[in-house]
Amino acid sequence: MNTQHHIKIENSLRHGKACILLLSITLLFNTAHAGGEGRDRGARSSALGGSIVSIPDDAWAGAWNPALLAWLPTGGSIVWTPSRYGLRELESSGIVWAQHVAGAGAMFAISNFGSSLYRETTPALSFGMEVDGGVALGVRAALLCISIERYGSTSLPQVDVGMAIALHEGVSFGALVSNISHTSISATVRDRLPLVVSTGISWNLDSLALFTVEVEKDVRWPFTVRTGVEYKPVDVLVFRIGATVEPFTSSFGIGIRHAGFVVDVSYRHHPDLGGTQYLGIGFQP
C-alpha cells in the first residue's frame, strides 16, 4: 500500500513538473518574443542582435529568408544553445545544408528544441532563385512537430516566403513573411501561430565591416528593431556587437574563419530573463 502511494506521489510530482515546465516555456517565449527572440537564428545573427533577413553570406540567413539562397554558396552549419536563460530544459540545436546552382539554391534544415517533457522538432526545405538582375524570391516549407509527455504529439505545416534585392555593391535588402499559411494548432484563431513580417538592410563595407538593421512586426506585439555591427580586423577574426529595441537587449560575439571552416560564439542578454550562449560551426567547401 505504501509502495502504491509513493508511486502515485511520484507520478503526481512528475505530472506537476511537466505542467510547470510548459507554463514556464509559454511565459518565457511570450516575453522573449516581445524582445525580438524566436527560433534560433544562429550564433552569428545572435551576436548581431538577431538581424538575419538581409545577410546574404550566412547559412542561417538562408534558413530564415529563403530568397538569400540564390546567392548563398554551397555549405552548411550547426548551431547549439546548451541552455536558454540558464535552463537546460530549453536546450536547442540545429543543422542546415545549402546547395547552390547558378542563380538558385536549395536548403535542408532541421532544428530541435526542448527536453523529453516538451520537445519541438522542425524539418524544413527551402528554395530560392534569382528572378531578375539583383532580385531573388524564395519559399520555405516546414513541419513543426510538437511532443508533450503524457499529452501526445502533433505536426503543423508552415510556409514562409522571402524576397532579397541587391541594391548596390555590398548593400542588400531582405524581407520575410513567416507563416503566410496561417497555420493553427486548432480550429480557433486564438491558437493560430503568429504571422510575422520582417524587413532589413545590410551594408558590407569593403569586407572590413558589416552594418545591419532589421524591423520585425509580430501581429501580437509592437515593432521590434534589431541592429548589429561586425568588424573584421584580419581575415580570420571577426568581432560583433548588437542590440534589440522593445525591450532593449544586448549581444556580442566573435567569429573565427579559416580554410573553409567557421566557428562563431555569441552571448545575448535579456534584461528580465538573463543570458543565453550560442555556438555555431560552419563549413563552406
- Contact (Cβ atoms closer than 8 angstroms) between residue 79 and residue 42: yes
pLDDT score at 39: 64
Percent of residues, the chain, with pLDDT higher than 70: 84
* Position with higher pLDDT, 196 vs 3: 196
Supply the mean pLDDT for the chain.
86
pLDDT score at 273: 87
Reduced 3-state DSSP string for 136-164? EEEEEEEEEEEEECCCEEEEEEEEEEEEE
Domain ranges of the chain: 2-283
Give the model confidence (pLDDT) of 83-141 as tens digits: 888 888 889 999 999 999 888 999 999 999 998 888 999 999 999 999 988 999 999 99
| Per-position DSSP letters for 6-39, written without gaps between them | HHHHHHHHHHHHHHHHHHHHHHHHHHHHHTT--S
pLDDT score at 200: 98
Distances (CA, A) of 24 to 12, 20, 221, 226, 230: 18, 6, 19, 25, 34
Class of CATH domain 2-283: mainly beta
Give the model confidence (pLDDT) of 240-255 as tens digits: 999 999 878 999 999 9
Examine the pLDDT at 34 and tell me if it is beyond 80: no
Amino acid at 176: L
pLDDT score at 183: 81
Most confident option among 6-10, 49-53, 187-191: 49-53
- Contact (Cβ atoms closer than 8 angstroms) between residue 203 and residue 212: yes
**Half-sphere exposure (CA, 13 Å, Cβ side) for 188?**
2
